């Protein structure tokens, strides 16, 4: 168990550019989540996958945001035409359905995005 | 809809003193409640969770939290603070059994010698 891995740790980009972040969950975990955390706030839920199926994406902040998990393993989060307001820490978490209730989420260390 | 309010964005405690972090929630259904801790440059880590089995929940590192339905509270305590407890603590609520959590804004804990 190597934990949830996120890449890159830091990303600096210019306004209007596209960025993509990668998340590798714990290998046996079938659920994967993306959260966003801005300074002084707690994490905010964005979207969720069970295996390769994206089961909830209503919280994705705009149509500039998209996420994929094509083979039910790693996931990518893409932001198109970045804006300064997109600057935040993007967190990935994974969990296993296991016995069912009250799943324990394992979080990665996040990708810090700075849009100049 | 659910929400979480954490009272106090910063708390300073002396080493060996009681740690008390306050969390109040609102939920239209019986909630699942969690405390997570974030150490510098590390991912969020689950401290404890309330599953309705018992109102007093014990977690890792000597922390515990008590669910009080009448007060809609889930305060986190530790009898004796240690330097390694310096971190940011987040209370979270969910109305379902999977991982869509509503987090509070967090409380930064500083431990002084």
Residue A72 confidence (pLDDT) = 85
Residue A104 confidence (pLDDT) = 83
Residue B97 confidence (pLDDT) = 63
**Closest chain A residue to the Cα of B47, Cα to Cα:** A104
Interface residues from chain A to B (CB-CB < 8 Å)? 3-4, 31, 33, 40-45, 48, 56, 91, 93, 95, 97, 100-110
In a mutagenesis test of the A interface, which of B31, B87, B100 is the best target, namely the one with the most A β-carbons within 10 Å? B100
Facing residues of A67 across strands? A77
Residue B54 confidence (pLDDT) = 83
Residue A41 pLDDT greater than 70, yes or no: yes
Residue B99 confidence (pLDDT) = 78
Grade residue B20 by pLDDT with cuts at 50, 70 and 90.
very high
pLDDT in tens, A65-108: 999 999 889 999 999 999 999 999 999 999 987 655 557 899 99
Residues 6 or more apart whose CB falls under 8 angstroms from that of A99 comprise none
CA distance B102 to B100: 7
Mean pLDDT of B42-57: 88
pLDDT in tens, A6-30: 999 999 999 999 999 999 999 989 9
Residue A6 confidence (pLDDT) = 97
DSSP string, B19-69: EEEEEEEE-SSPPEEEEEEE-TTS--EEEEEE-SS-SEEE-GGG-EEEEEG
For residue B84, give the 3-state DSSP assignment.
helix
Residues 6 or more apart whose CB falls under 8 angstroms from that of A100 comprise B97
Nearest to B32 among A91, A102, A106 (CB): A102
Residue B113 confidence (pLDDT) = 94
CA distance B22 to B104: 11
A106 contacts A94 by C-beta, under 8 angstroms: yes
Residue A65 confidence (pLDDT) = 94
């Amino acid at each position: 168990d190597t934990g949830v891995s996120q890449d890159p740790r830091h990303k600096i980009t210019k306004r209007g550019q596209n960025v993509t972040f990668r998340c590798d969950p714990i290998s046996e975990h079938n659920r994967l989540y993306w959260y966003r955390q801005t300074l002084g706030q707690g994490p905010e839920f964005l979207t969720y996958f069970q295996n390769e199926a994206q089961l909830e994406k209503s919280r994705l902040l705009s149509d500039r945001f998209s996420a994929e998990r094509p083979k039910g393993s790693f996931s990518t989060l893409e932001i198109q035409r970045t804006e300064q307001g997109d600057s935040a820490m993007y967190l990935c978490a994974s969990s296993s359905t296991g016995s069912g209730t009250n799943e324990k989420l394992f979080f990665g260390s996040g990708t810090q995005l700075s849009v100049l | 809809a659910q929400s979480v309010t954490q009272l106090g964005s910063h708390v300073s405690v002396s080493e060996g003193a009681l740690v008390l972090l306050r969390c109040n929630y609102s939920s239209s259904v019986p909630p699942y409640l969690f405390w997570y801790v974030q150490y510098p440059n590390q991912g969020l880590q689950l401290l404890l969770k309330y599953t309705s089995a018992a109102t007093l929940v014990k977690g890792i590192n000597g922390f515990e939290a008590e669910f009080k339905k009448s007060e809609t509270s889930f305060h986190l305590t530790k009898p004796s603070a240690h330097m390694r407890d310096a971190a940011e603590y987040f209370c979270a609520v969910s109305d379902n059994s999977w991982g869509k959590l509503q987090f509070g804004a967090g409380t930064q804990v500083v431990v002084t010698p």
